[in-house]
Structure 1
C-alpha cells in the first residue's frame, strides 16, 4: 500500500512541476488518504500482534 502512496506522490510532484494543478492536487489527496489507511493498518497490526496483509 505504501508503494501506491509513493506512486501517487510522484505523480503529484511531476504534475505540479508541469503545471497541472488539478491533477497534482487530486493525486496528492489520494496519496494522503492511502498513507493514513496504511498507518491505521500498521497500528492495528501492532496492537493485535499479528501481521496484516494488504
Structure 2
C-alpha cells in the first residue's frame, strides 16, 4: 500500500515538472488517500497486536 502511495507521488511530481496540472493533482490526491489508508491500517494492526498480547 505504501509502495503505491509513493509511486503515485512520484508520478505526480514528474507530471508537475512537465506541466500536466490535471494529472499531477489527480495523482497527488490518489497518493494522499492511499497514504492515509496505509496509516489507518497500520494503526489498526498495532492495536490488534497489543490486544492479543
Query: What is the RMSD computed on CA atoms of the aligned residues?
Result: 1.0
After TM superposition, the runs of 4+ consecutive aligned structure 1 residues lying more than 6 A away are none
Larger Rg: 2
How far apart, in 2, do the equivalents of 1:26 and 1:42 lie?
Answer: 24
Instruction: Provide the C-alpha distance between the structure 2 equivalents of 1:16 and 1:37, rounded to a whole number of angstroms.
Output: 24
Paired residues, number: 50
**If the length of structure 2 is used for normalisation, what is the TM-score?**
0.92
Structure 2 residue runs without a partner (length 5+): none
Structure 1 alignment gaps of length 5 or more? none
Structure with the largest fraction of helix: 2
The residue number in structure 1 matching 2:42 is 42
